[in-house]
Amino acid sequence: MKNNLIAIFSLALFCVNAQNFLHQAEIEPVKKDGFYRIPLSPLAKQYMKADLSDLRIYNKLLQQVPYVLISEPQLRSNTSFEAYPIVSQKHFDHYSEIIIENPGKLALNNMAFNINNSDAHKYCAVEGSDDKKQWYSVSAMQELGLAYNNDYTNCYKCIYFPKVDYRFIRLLVEDWQSQPLKINSAGYFKNSQMPGQLNAVPFVQSRKEIAAHQTTLIHLDFKQMQQINRIDFNISEPKHFLRSAQILVTRKRETKRQTETYREVLRQFELNSGKSLMLDFEGLNEKEIDIEIENKDNAPLTIDSIKCWQLATWLVCELKANTPYLLKCGDKSLHRPEYDLVNFITATPHALPQTLVKKMVMVSVSSATVAPKVKAFYEEKSFIWICIAIGSFVLFWFSRSLLKDMKGEKQN
């Protein structure tokens, strides 16, 4: 009996204290059922843990809605197909001739072709020319056939050959055992690196010149903890400069029963007029930072603007039409949830329709429920009184048992 009461009391306390969210925001209702991307702005993320593990989405039935968290990388690959002009495409009795122009005479060692699906087994020869009159051998045998895709009606087939810079490339495709292939376009895949999408982070800036140390101190106040992935400087004067600089934060630590304040250097860098004035970070998450610039005997820099940026983040989840949802955050005890959905969302969020998070508000005692119009029983005052009553009874039970044990010991 005693063990049962203790278990009930512990469960009641757990229900009262579990999931102490500090902030919440409504998600704008959607008009159609389906998967949506929900951008998390810096104004919303400032109330969340740095790793966003305290995020939860609830529906009107107080049920968690699974989501996938997608964040932009500092750099992401961008692959695009660059098409070359097809000068001519002729079919003869036993072979096809395709001539592709390389207008810039770029050095090439591969070429990709968009071909209508076919399981024909074909080979081709590659030749090069600068005038379409005299042709020179590049590769005697390349496999071009067996090109098909089960998901689409066409696919890309890439062939590789020794690097050449001819203005014209000719393919001679043998058609002895089957009809010609339908080649839609020719070109190459261009790979490049591009920065991830960034969102501006608001802050309040102050600046002072410290003549005694020949330094400029710039203070950035973000009001709340903010993730910073890039800082841009726009400097107009002087025309040529090279200054040592560092980013500092104020820390506190306990030493011998007292609190000590000290300065920690997070990053040392240079401001150089001959280089990019962008500073990238991976793990900077602070409420306030100081930028200290060493001027030596030079005049202070004329800094027209400083901008702080944060890599974009989205939540991807499945929403029902015309249904209220709440996004909640701020419970520091939570860990990142594990949803099955992460195994099925592979598309980039840019391809999905978007809905937004409304303004984040604090969760008050009177509005601590998960859904706006539905109040959970464990947050009712009557439930709190029941827990207090159970606790009082358990304490009385233990006290009574302890007094009995003490009396028994005295009698013995």
Contacts of 136 (CB under 8 A, 6+ apart): 127, 128, 129, 166
Each domain of the chain, given as residue ranges in start order, spans 2-70+322-382, 79-194, 198-311
Please tell me the class of the 198-311 domain.
mainly beta
What DSSP string runs through 27-79? EPPBSS-EEEEEE--HHHHTTS-TT-TT-EEE-TTS-B--EEEEE--SEEEEE
Contacts 24+ apart (CB under 8 A), 6-13: 6/394, 8/390, 9/387, 9/390, 9/391, 9/394, 12/383, 12/386, 12/387, 12/390, 13/387, 13/391
Residue in 225, 224, 231 with CA at minimum distance from that of residue 285: 225
The reply to whether 198-311 shares the fold of 79-194 is: yes
pLDDT of residue 238: 92
Residue in 257, 378, 357, 234 with CA at minimum distance from that of residue 306: 234
> Alpha-carbon dihedral of residues 173, 177, 182, 188, nearest 10 degrees?
-40
pLDDT 10s digits, 186-221: 887 766 555 678 889 999 999 999 999 999 999 999
Beta partners for 193? 77
CATH topology of domain 79-194: Jelly Rolls (2.60.120)
Tens-binned pLDDT, residue by residue, of the chain (412 aa): 444 444 443 444 334 344 688 999 999 999 999 899 899 999 999 899 888 999 999 998 889 999 998 887 776 655 677 889 999 999 888 889 999 999 888 888 888 888 888 877 788 899 999 999 999 999 887 777 666 666 678 877 888 888 899 999 999 998 888 888 888 888 877 665 556 788 899 999 999 999 999 999 999 999 989 999 899 999 989 989 999 999 999 998 888 778 888 899 999 999 998 888 888 888 789 999 999 999 999 999 999 999 999 988 889 999 999 999 999 998 888 899 999 888 887 656 677 888 999 998 988 654 444 444 445 555 666 767 777 777 777 777 777 776 666 666 555 5
User: DSSP state, 297?
Assistant: T
